[in-house]
Amino acid sequence: MITNRTEMSALRALTRIASLLLALAASAAHAQVQARPDASPANPPAPFVLKQIGPGVYAAIDGPQGSSGSNAGFVVGDDGVLVVDSFFNPDATKALVASIHKITPKPIRYVVNTHYHIDHVGGDAVLREAGAIIIAHRNVRGWIHENNVNLLGTHITPQLRAQIASLADPDLVTDKPLTIWLGSRRVDVRPVEGHTGGDLAIFVPDAKVLFCGDLLWRKYPPNIIDGTVGKWIATVTEFQHLPNASAMTFVPGHGDVANIQDVADFDAYLRELSTDVAAGRAAGLTGKDLVNTVVPKLKGRFGDWEHLDRSAPTEVGYMDAELAGAKQVPIPTGN
C-alpha cells in the first residue's frame, strides 16, 4: 500500500487516524485488485465485514485494507434501525446502507456517533440522506469541523479539508444518558470519558452488546491524541464491571469484535503505558530516552498488536504530557 520512502516517513509521523486517511486512496485501488471474482467496479465488495452479534444486532468491522477507516454497526428494532458511527469513507457508508436494506425493509431512523473524529463521522451525510437523525455528544457540534482539521495537522490535503468542511452537523446532542426506543427495543446511549471529552457508548441490553467507540481498541494501540488516559482507564474498568460483563459482546472502534478478556487486555495496555511512563519520568527520563525505555516494555507484552512500532512512541509522548499536566485536549465550545 505504501510505495515510496516519502510516504513511509510521512506515515510514521502520523497518528493512527491520519495514517488511515493517507492510506485510504491507495487502499481503494487495492480493493479493486483484490475484489472477489463476482465483484465488478459497479458492484465492489463491501470494505467491511458484517458480523451478527445478537438478534438484529450487527457489527461492521473494518476490512483488512482499513479502507472503511473504523468500525460501525447497527441495531434493528421493531420499527426502525439505529446505526452506530458512519466510517471515514462515505463509500463504505453507502455499502452499509445497502447491507441494512438487504437485511430489513425497516427505515434507518438514527445514527449515533461515538465521537467527533472523522473516521467515525465521515458518512453521516449519507445516513441522513437515508433518513437518519444524527445524534452525538454535545461537544461534537463544536469540534466536528475545526478539530478534525487540527487532528490531521500538516498532512491534510485540499480534498480532506473539503470533506471536513462538508461533514454533517449532528441534529440532536446530549451530555446526559439517553434512552432510544425502537418500538419495544431499548437502546441506552451514555456519555463516557477518556478518549476525546465528547464520547458516547451505546448499549443494547437485550442483546448484551456494548458499542464502545474508541474507548476500546482490540489488538491495536489506541489513538490518545485527545485522550486523558487516567479517565480512560476508569471507563474501561467500568466496562468490565457491568452486570453480566463476561457474557457481553464489546464492539471496539478499531479491531475485531471483543469479549471481556479483550477489554481486560486493553485496560492492561493503558495501565502499562501509564505506569511505565510514570516510572521513566520518576527516573528523570525525557524525550527519546523515555520512548526508548517504555516502547520495548510495551512491545514485550503487546508485540502482536497492529502498528505498535508506529504508534507507541507517539502515545508515550502524549502520556508524558498528561502526567506533566501539559496535555492538550479539546475544549468544549458551549454548543
Nearest residue to 192 (alpha-carbon basis) of 222, 146, 218, 227: 227
Instruction: Quote the least distance from Cβ 173 to Zn ion, whole Å.
Output: 19
Q: Check: CB of residue 50 under 8 Å from CB of residue 58.
A: yes
Nearest residue (CB) to Zn ion, 115 versus 327: 115
User: What does the alpha-carbon distance between residue 42 and residue 317 come to, in Å, rounded to a whole number?
Assistant: 45
Interface ranges with Zn ion (CB under 5 A): 70, 119, 214, 253
User: What does the alpha-carbon distance between residue 197 and residue 137 come to, in Å, rounded to a whole number?
Assistant: 9
Instruction: Quote the least distance from Cβ 157 to Zn ion, whole Å.
Output: 19
Nearest residue (CB) to Zn ion, 91 versus 119: 119
Nearest residue (CB) to Zn ion, 68 versus 249: 68
Instruction: Quote the least distance from Cβ 67 to Zn ion, whole Å.
Output: 14
Q: List the grid coordinates of 157.
A: 490535503
Handedness of CA 142, 148, 154, 158 (dihedral sign): negative
Q: List the grid coordinates of 29.
A: 485501488
User: What does the alpha-carbon distance between residue 222 and residue 244 come to, in Å, rounded to a whole number?
Assistant: 25
Nearest residue (CB) to Zn ion, 164 versus 290: 164
C-alpha 303: how far from its chain's center?
21
75: three-class secondary structure by DSSP: strand
Phi and psi angles of residue 179, each rounded to the nearest 5 degrees, phi first = -110, 130
Instruction: Quote the least distance from Cβ 182 to Zn ion, whole Å.
Output: 25
Q: Check: CB of residue 58 under 8 Å from CB of residue 81.
A: no
Within 13 Å of residue 117, how many CA atoms lie on the same side as its CB? 30
Instruction: Quote the least distance from Cβ 35 to Zn ion, whole Å.
Output: 26
Q: Check: CB of residue 200 under 8 Å from CB of residue 191.
A: yes
Instruction: Quote the least distance from Cβ 230 to Zn ion, whole Å.
Output: 20
Nearest residue (CB) to Zn ion, 72 versus 291: 72
User: What does the alpha-carbon distance between residue 115 and residue 136 come to, in Å, rounded to a whole number?
Assistant: 7
Nearest residue (CB) to Zn ion, 66 versus 280: 66
Instruction: Quote the least distance from Cβ 69 to Zn ion, whole Å.
Output: 7
Q: List the grid coordinates of 52.
A: 451478527
Q: Check: CB of residue 74 under 8 Å from CB of residue 83.
A: yes
Nearest residue (CB) to Zn ion, 124 versus 214: 214
Nearest residue (CB) to Zn ion, 214 versus 276: 214
Instruction: Quote the least distance from Cβ 120 to Zn ion, whole Å.
Output: 5
